[in-house]
Amino acid sequence: MSVLVDRDTRVVVQGITGHQGTTHARLMREFGTSVVAGVTPGKGGSSLDGVPVFDSVQESVDRTAANASCIFVPAPFAKDAALEAIDAGIRLLVVVTEHIPFHDMLVMYHYGRAKGARIIGPNCPGIASPGRAKVGIIPNVVFRPGRVGVISRSGTLTYEIVSGIKDHGLGQSTCIGLGGDPVVGTSFVDALPLFEADPDTDVLVMVGEIGGTAEEDGAEYIQSHLSKPVVAYIAGRSAPEGKRMGHAGAIISRGKGTAASKVAALERAGAKVARFPYEIPDLVAQALSEGAGR
């Protein structure tokens, strides 16, 4: 078992004929994912590396039984792409596209929720479970099957940390990159119970950033509901107040969402908080050996 994706995951890539879509459809297949279809309106009937391309998501579902979508469609059209996938019955959407207005994401999120669809992202690296499937863009080289679950709000920092876990001789069960936008389809609080229920995950790594209160909310959940050990890291301890650090998720305002408040909340919840990314693997190994001794 794993979290959200497994060997039965059948991916349709929306925007497959664009540069990113083509590249990552190939990389997902190299990972071992069943990429069964692509969708680009107006390009239906063609194929890419043997993957059939359709005009609509509904067609791709009817013809290939696709059950998950990976969206690379440019921001102005991403909302429509997501609504189309939800209406076609897709229940797992990974939205890689960045710079989607949050007003659009509000519509995508609440529509999806009403229809029972889960969105990961937007502006996210996606989800991967080594040896099973990957929906998204996390580099294949960082993975190795194992028992560490990773939930992160970052992109490249996730790769850094997952790669560090591998270099330490450990492996991952499932890794989810949630994305750091103001409105995300799946937050820490949504993802934590999935890992708690996953028999293949023994320890969780939670990677947060300054800004927002998602980490504090996650910490509350950990304290009251989580039995598995958690190792956490919060990026941005040295960030100056008020300066924008790359995207809207990373703004400190009014003393809320600071690194200090997040670290304190996580420590109160019993998580081991690493001060730097390279401290994570040791803390994970420690948590694993303590767990084994229980």
Partner 1 sequence: MVKLAEWRGKQLFRKYGIPLPRGEVARSADEAESAVRSGAVPLPCVVKAQVLAGGRGKGGAVRFANSAAEAKAAAEAILGLEFKGERVRELLLEEKLPISKELYVSITLDRARRLPILMSSAQGGVEIESVDDSAIDRQSVDPFPGLTAYERRRAAGALGLSGPARGSLDRLLEGLWKLFVEEDAELVEINPLAIVGDGLVALDAKVIIEDDAGFRHPEYAEIRDDRTPLEEIAREKEIAFVQLDGNIGVIANGAGLTMATLDVLQEFGGRPGVFLDLGGTDDPKKVTEAFLLMAQARPKAVFLNIFGGVTKCDTVARGLVEAMAKVPPTDRFPLVARIRGNNEKEGVEILRQAGIISIPTLRESAQAAVAAAGSGA
Catalytic residues: 247
Q: Which residue number, 2 or 187, has a Cβ lying nearer to partner 1?
A: 187
Smallest gap from Cβ 251 to partner 1, in A, equals 8
Could you give the maximum distance between any two Cα atoms of the chain, in Å? 58
Q: Which residue number, 1 or 141, has a Cβ lying nearer to partner 1?
A: 141
Smallest gap from Cβ 270 to partner 1, in A, equals 22
Interface residues with partner 1 (CB under 8 A) are 19-20, 75-76, 98-103, 106-107, 109-111, 125, 137-139, 141-142, 152-160, 163, 180, 182-184, 207, 209-210, 212-214, 217, 233, 235-240, 243-250, 254, 275-278
Q: Which residue number, 88 or 183, has a Cβ lying nearer to partner 1?
A: 183
Interatomic CA distance for residues 147 and 62, integer angstroms: 35
Query: Which amino acid makes up residue 61?
Result: V
CA distances from 205 to 165, 172, 195, 283, 284 (A): 10, 10, 10, 10, 8
- Of 257, 100, 259, 253, nearest to 183 by C-alpha is 100
Smallest gap from Cβ 278 to partner 1, in A, equals 5
Q: In 3-state terms, what secondary structure has residue 235?
A: strand
Smallest gap from Cβ 121 to partner 1, in A, equals 13
Q: Which residue number, 103 or 294, has a Cβ lying nearer to partner 1?
A: 103
DSSP-derived pairing of the beta strands 203-209 and 145-152: parallel
Query: Which amino acid makes up residue 245?
Result: M
Strand order in the sheet with 34-39: 47-48, 51-54, 34-39, 10-14, 68-71, 92-95, 118-120
Q: Which residue number, 66 or 280, has a Cβ lying nearer to partner 1?
A: 280
Count the Cβ atoms, other than its own, within 10 Å of residue 165. Answer: 24
Smallest gap from Cβ 133 to partner 1, in A, equals 18
Smallest gap from Cβ 74 to partner 1, in A, equals 9
Query: Which amino acid makes up residue 237?
Result: R
36 and 62 in contact (C-beta within 8 Å)? Answer: no
Output the DSSP codes for 236-280.
-TTPPTT---SSGGG--BTTBT-HHHHHHHHHHTTPEEESSGGGH
Q: Which residue number, 54 or 159, has a Cβ lying nearer to partner 1?
A: 159
221 and 151 in contact (C-beta within 8 Å)? Answer: no
* Chain mean position to CA 131: 17
